[in-house]
Amino acid sequence: MERSKNKQTKLHIRKGDTVRVVSGNSKGKEGEVLEVITSKQRAIVQGVNIVTKHVKPSADNPEGGIKKTEAAIHISNLKLIDPATGEAVRTGRKLNDDGKLQRYSKKTGEFIKNG
């Protein structure tokens, strides 16, 4: 079903969340989400999916060389870590006391703090 007012896609993770990788070469690793690319449904996670890039010499970097950096990983391979319990949980959305949609842990039913 297409959203009528806000066309921004809603994902189960946000920038600043701590996540665990569920599948792929980096399975089991944890890290903080540095950036979420909503159009491609990918996220860049600190210390996860490290790739090597060959950098040409430039004015900023006269040496050039090989640089290790994080590459984007699909969000379906990530699970949010509940700050309260420290476990990887599935998330949902439901109305809180203020009448706003807020993420909650499907395992415990507790709301997840945004920040």
Domains of the chain, by residue range, sit at 18-55+64-105
Can you list the residues of the chain whose pLDDT is less than 70? 1-3, 114-115
CATH of 18-55+64-105, one of 1.10.357.10, 2.30.30.30, 2.40.30.10, 3.40.50.720: 2.30.30.30
Report the alpha-carbon distance of residue 90 to residue 109 in Å, rounded.
Answer: 10
* Torsion on CA atoms 6, 10, 14, 18, rounded to nearest 10: 160
The one-letter amino acid code at 114 reads: N
- pLDDT given at position 2: 63
- pLDDT given at position 99: 87
CA Rg value for the chain: 17
Of the candidates 81, 92, 83, 73, the residue with the CA atom closest to the CA atom of residue 12: 92
- pLDDT given at position 79: 95
- pLDDT given at position 37: 94
